[in-house]
Amino acid sequence: MIKIFKFGGAALGNVERIRALCDIIQKEDYERLVIICSAFQNVTNELTAIAKSHFNHKESTIGSFQKLKSKHHKIFDQLVPNRQDLQDELNDLFMETEWFIEDQPEEDYKYNLDQIISVGEIASSRIVSHYLNHQSIDNAWVDIRDYMITDNEYSNANVLWAETDQRLEKLLKNHTQKILITQGFIGSSTENFSTTLGREGSDYTAAILASKLSASSVTFWKDVPGIMSSDPKLDIHASKLKKLSYEEAIEMTYYGAKVIHPKTIKPIIKQEIPFFVKSFLHPEEAGTTISAEANIEYPPLTVIKKNQIILKFQTLDYSHISSRDSSRIFEVLADHHIKANLIMTKAREIILCIDRDDILNKKINSALANNYQISESRNLKLTTVRHYTSNTVDELKSKQVLYKISDGITLQYVTDHA
């Protein structure tokens, strides 16, 4: 029985949490365990800021990187004290990135970004691996970039399946230890450059490994008790879901729920490998199980997307919106990888709700301004309620709703984000 554990950044937030990880592993039953580590809490964001400052030739870049390095060395020293040899080894791991940022940036920002941010997971997983060894928990550290081969669409790379499958087949044979410690989110191009799978991509790595290794389950260790029906910070009625079907998880992530990375379900759905979402703070509590089980009764599930804009495209000559108009507008969205979060069509208008991104919005405008009268409203909030009830509908009456669409299961509405 092979199990996959994924520890996100929050689960690797500090020394105590890494110690807790060790307890969790010791209490678990498995034949083989593959542990996927994210970068330490907030490190991917910090490295992204460093990549930006490197790209903009800022002098402070090296200083910021040194700070981030010493944060890792400190955590490492608390977990595995007085091991200068291991500290030196960690220093060597950072060296390549250090050389990279001492050099001039390449033209492609996303290429630079991936070379820099990948060190976050390399360092965190290395520290966890040495700590477990120090606790006499034998394990092998694996550089997943030797296995996860991608194209070179930096920062949102696509897995090259034939090559990756072939390599992953050998993973468990190459490393015979019971526990493997590796990274999520990162991969390698065929030219041996680091790539990344998109933010929060380590969930996706966990699913790919589960599928290729025919794991019996995947557990996502998080700082929440499981998947919640809505954001507990905004809603006192938020409750933990005991079960979620794959289908519902796909729906929720489509509408923007941050439960798991949207690509995560696809690799494991055929093999029906269950996912467990659990709290590393209360490992004894059952979290949420995501599985093939259908016919689950759900409370209303609410997903909120902030920082939305509405774009309205109106025909110039009072003609009706035609299929030609739809295809023209959606082609521009596709060219810029923009997802419409809400789509409405009227006699003379196509109305879209999308994430605000000023640069992309300008591109849409210049591509379509000759064909349509375009207007834009900002600072909006899109709320999606799956499995809405009559209560949901009643509550809407007291809100200033700008747009609303619904079918039997899903209700979406746009309000001012005050």
- The residue among 185 and 275 lying less far from ligand ASP, judged by its C-beta, is 185
184 binds Mg ion (CB under 5 A): no
**Measuring CA to CA, which residue among 30, 282, 52, 279 is closest to residue 178?**
30
Binding partner selected for residue 251 from ligand ASP, Mg ion, none, CB under the kind-specific 5 to 8 Å limit: none
**Measuring CA to CA, which residue among 54, 94, 55 is closest to residue 72?**
94
Rounded-to-integer distance, Cα 150 and Cα 164, Å: 8
**String marking each residue 192-211 x if it binds Mg ion according to CB under 5 A:** --------x-----------
274 binds Mg ion (CB under 5 A): no
Binding partner selected for residue 114 from Mg ion, ligand ASP, none, CB under the kind-specific 5 to 8 Å limit: none
**String marking each residue 143-182 x if it binds Mg ion according to CB under 5 A:** ----------------------------------------
**Measuring CA to CA, which residue among 116, 105, 121 is closest to residue 193?**
116
H runs (alpha helix) in 343-400: 358-368, 390-396
Binding partner selected for residue 201 from Mg ion, ligand ASP, none, CB under the kind-specific 5 to 8 Å limit: ligand ASP
Q: Are the beta carbons of 217 and 275 closer than 8 angstroms?
A: yes
Bridge-based pairing of strands 410-416 and 243-245 is: unpaired
Number of other residues whose CB lies within 10 A of the CB of residue 369: 11
Lookup result for tokens 């909030």: 381
Q: Tell me the closest approach of the beta carbon of residue 196 to Mg ion, in angstroms.
A: 13
* Angle 277-280-284 from CA coordinates, rounded to 5°: 85
Binding partner selected for residue 325 from ligand ASP, Mg ion, none, CB under the kind-specific 5 to 8 Å limit: none
Total residues interacting with Mg ion, rule: CB under 5 A? 2
- The residue among 202 and 415 lying less far from ligand ASP, judged by its C-beta, is 202
Contact window for Mg ion (CB under 5 A) among 6-14, 262-270, 284-292, 312-320: 6-14
- The residue among 199 and 243 lying less far from ligand ASP, judged by its C-beta, is 199
**Which residues would be at the binding site for Mg ion (CB under 5 A)?**
8, 200
